[in-house]
Amino acid sequence: MSAAAEHQLDSKVVPRLPEIRPILAIGIGVGLSQFAQVAMGMTDAAMMARLGPGPLAAGMLVSSLWVQGALFCLGMQVAMLPVLGAAVGSGSSERVTSVLRAGQIMTAGLCVLQGLYLAALPFVLRLFTADATVIAEGTRYALGLIAGVIPWMFFVSTRFFLIAKGEVGIFVPVSLLGIVINALLNFVLMYGAVTGRPLGVVGSAISTSLTSWIMLGLLLAHMRLRANQRSVAEFFKGHGATVRNIVRDLANLGWPIGLIFFSENLIFSVGSLLIGRIDTTSLAAFVAVQQWLVVSYMLPVGISNAATARIGFHIGRGDNTGVRAVLAAALIITIVYSVALSVLFLALAPLCVRIFGVDPLAHPDFVAKATSDMAWLAVIQFFNNFIVVIAGVMRGFRDTKTPLIAMFRNYWIMGTGSTILLTFLLQERGVWLGIALGLALTLASITFSLRAKLSKLDSLIREIGGRDSAMGRFEAAETATQKGG
């Protein structure tokens, strides 16, 4: 066998790892951006607390409900990543334009959906509380958030476009600047600094909406300043029938992701309800430790988005080896990150608990329970991280229903069911064990599905490439017809 043939065989069996750098670059950029968004919410909560328990409860209740709707919309928009990645990989600017236009149309529809959802929240609040102050303040806060729906949704779609192109450097500065701008606007609008007319909790909603408009403007300005005027123009062009077909494809890909995002915290919500029936201290410890799960979740989300976009990119090029390289890089990064995080959570558990600011002398039970719960978190985040990343890989193959089925069967039914049963047997330990079991079963299920896809990778790439090529030919014919007309 020749040296060239041996090299070709080696590259197929043991893929090179050129994807480590782009996966890390995109993953860290997206992860830090996600963390900045969480920090913005925490800043709002801290500033609302100064208004009193009523406004704080109203703001946090509406925020938690708003997030559920936003997660569904975000899941729908994530469907843009594999299709955009493939369009970029194909080298067809017309294809990129059509996918962007389709994503824009879908985003506009999601804006309407989220706006209607926020408008309905004043009625939903009555299902959660009878407190008149919370209902009144929550209603004002929900209506104030409507003004920020459009910029936030289009900020997300613009961000996915840049992820598909590998241009993520702007995410962190824009997100960090957003935190600062939001806090300053809160001082002016919520507390009445400068104006002397404090608006209370609705001032925070207006601040959030204004910040979203500013962040979208900064992202578009960045694209233009990089002499990428074509990129900005692509958001406002497209071809009729082709775009309609892509919108349909995006919706078919997106709704399973939206359902997963919408309900992925179900098992933790059930856990909170079950632990709340045991005692308040256990509930406080459980909820506090979950905040570290949110923090640990940020980088895997970024790696997941990166894997989706990069696999789509290599599928667009018909590059089997590139797809395998993305998978290898994503899994290696996830293994290293998850193991390191597990060691840190175990070694630094007391420090992680002290960060919550609870006096160990005044509340020794809380500190003891939370420290013990950190050991469970070290295990659970490992399962959770791999589920997130492998689901992103599956999205790169345009498969969004398999993770949904796995989550429904193993996570919602078996995981939640075992959590309820084990709680009666083992108290709070049963909650953690049930959650770990649900996540482990889900991970095993989607891992087997991924192995099945990899066993027929060549035919899968040809199938996806064939569909995209057919769409490209239709698009070219449509463009020629329009020019001829």
In a domain, 53, yes or no: yes
The verdict on 66 and 173 lying in the same domain is yes
Q: What is the mean pLDDT of residues 43-61?
A: 77
Helix (H, G, I), strand (E, B) or coil at 108: helix
> CB within 8 A of 194, min separation 6: which ones?
188
Query: What's the pLDDT at 4?
Result: 42
Q: Are residues 214 and 345 in the same domain?
A: no
The model's pTM: 0.79
How confident is the model over 275-302, as pLDDT tens digits?
767 777 777 777 778 778 878 888 898 8
Please check whether residues 277 and 230 belong to one and the same domain.
Answer: no
C-alpha 339/C-alpha 253 separation (Å) is 32
Same domain, 240 and 295: no
According to DSSP, residue 191 is labeled S
Question: From CA 246, how far away is CA 250, in angstroms rounded?
Answer: 6
The per-residue pLDDT for 276 is 65
58 shares its domain with 205: yes
**Cα gap 142→149, rounded to integer Å:** 11
Residue 166 corresponds to which tokens in the numbers above?
């590998």
pLDDT in tens, 253-265: 888 888 888 777 6
Q: Which domain holds residue 34?
A: 21-263
**Residues 255, 276 within the same domain:** no
For residue 403, tell me if it sits in a domain: yes
Residue 444 within a domain: yes
**What is the 8-class DSSP label of residue 361?**
T
Most confidently modeled range among 86-100, 110-124, 248-262, 430-444: 110-124
Count CB neighbours of 356 within 10 A: 16
Domain end position, chosen among 237, 263, 289:
263
Which of 236, 263, 290 is a domain's end point? 263
Residues 229 and 153 in one domain: yes
Among the candidates 263, 279, 294, a domain finishes at 263
Give domain status of residue 4, yes or no. Answer: no
Shared domain for 421 and 295, answered yes or no, is: yes
Tell me the C-alpha distance between 141 and 273, whole Å: 26
Q: Where do runs of H (alpha helix) occur along 170-279?
A: 171-185, 201-225, 229-233, 240-263, 266-276
**Digit-coded pLDDT (tens) for 53-111:** 778 777 777 887 788 788 889 889 988 888 888 888 877 777 888 888 888 899 999 99
196 & 303 share domain: no
Does position 483 have pLDDT exceeding 60, yes or no? no
Same domain, 192 and 325: no
Tens of pLDDT, residues 319-377: 888 888 999 999 999 999 999 999 998 998 888 888 766 677 777 887 888 888 888 98
- Whole-number pLDDT of residue 361: 74
Both 271 and 250 in a single domain?
no
If one counts the domains in the chain, the total is 2
User: Mapping DSSP to helix (H, G, I), strand (E, B) and coil, where does residue 196 land?
Assistant: coil
Q: Looking at residue 83, what is its pLDDT?
A: 86
Residues 103 and 232 in one domain: yes
